[in-house]
Amino acid sequence: MTEALVVDLGTPVHVVDHGGAGPLTLLLHGLGGSAATWITVADRLAATGRRVLAPDLAGFGITPPGDRGSGVEANAALVADLVARFGEPAVLVGNSMGGLVALLAATRHPAAVAALVLVAPALPPTPRHLDPEVTVKLLGPLLPGLGAPAIRAYRATHDPELETAETLAMCTARPEAIPEEARAALVEVNRLRRSLDWTVPAFVEADRSIARWVLDRRRYRRLLHAVTQPTRVVCGAEDRLVPVASARWAAGERPDWDLVVLDDVGHLPMLETPDRFVELVATWPPDRRAR
């Protein structure tokens, strides 16, 4: 049974508990996302023999940044604290920003992490594969003095429905195929966040923290090589935010990792191809099989 929890970790962390019995699995959303990102797959993953939790990371959904802040390092520590609260190492399934958070948690708090599934994780860009529209939208908040005003101006001219539609158009290969239940949940989170005064500065802080990693390839390479846990990377062949070339670079650095490229899929495989996504998570690490 799905249940909404608030876990006190210094910051009140909103967590959706999707139940299940078995190894702890945390679903970590991307920049601008929330626990709702996983709505089409979380209950099904719980049915494969896992205890599945989907938190709103600090600064996202309805979890305030508090004294932690909303950067990826702060959220890696939050994940480790959440795992400690539930008492066992977790499989971390991280999308985009959540993938980078998962990598940081795995290397800085290795005892908390049993395995990784990195879903279109934030990775260093490959200049030949940069998408102009995506580049403008992601780099805008990084500009001093312009980030927060630009987001507020966007919200002033885009209602939550239009914001969600434009996000799905950029992040998915076939936005028309996204289940209506998922689309409605994403709209509702976008609507709710507009009433919270910390959301814009939290977004800018998180975006800048991601940039400090993905724009420093040497630093990121060191991060990849520090991971000791079994790792599967899942990416979409039509991903405009994290092109396949970036995922192949990461896999080339770590040939022991498992790389899965999904045809006709963009940046959000959990929404675009939920059946295949559940199978890929349920069978990782390699000693697990779908039930």
Residue 223: CA atoms inside 13 Å, Cβ hemisphere, count?
A: 24
Residue 290 lies in a domain: no
Domain contains 158? yes
Count of beta carbons in the 10 Å neighbourhood of residue 200: 19
Residue 277 banded pLDDT, cuts 50, 70, 90:
very high
How many angstroms separate the CA atoms of 6 and 2, rounded?
13
287 inside domain: no
Please report whether residue 104 resides in a domain: yes
Q: Could you report the per-residue pLDDT of 239-264, keeping only the tens digit for each?
A: 999 999 999 999 999 999 999 999 99
* pLDDT at residue number 183: 97
**What residues make up the domain containing 272?**
3-282
Q: Say if 288 falls within a structural domain.
A: no
| pLDDT value of residue 282 | 96
Predicted confidence at residue 288, as pLDDT, reads 58
For residue 289, being part of any structural domain is answered with no
92-104 confidence digits (pLDDT tens): 999 999 999 999 9
Percent over 90 (pLDDT), the chain: 85
Q: State the residue for tokens 């846990």.
A: 229
CB 31 within 8 A of CB 98: no
What are the structure tokens assigned to 22, written together? Answer: 């078995």
- Provide the CATH number for the domain around residue 40: 3.40.50.1820
Q: How many domains does the chain have?
A: 1
- Per the domain annotation, does 233 fall within a domain? yes
Q: Which of 230, 234, 232, 231 is nearest to 261 (CA)?
A: 234
Residue-wise pLDDT for 96-153, tens only, equals 999 999 999 999 999 999 999 999 999 998 766 666 666 666 666 666 667 788 888 8
In a domain, 291, yes or no: no
Q: Give pLDDT, residue 130.
A: 64
pLDDT digits over 168-201, tens only?
999 999 999 999 999 999 999 999 999 999 999 9
Q: Please give the model's pTM, rounded to 2 decimal places.
A: 0.94
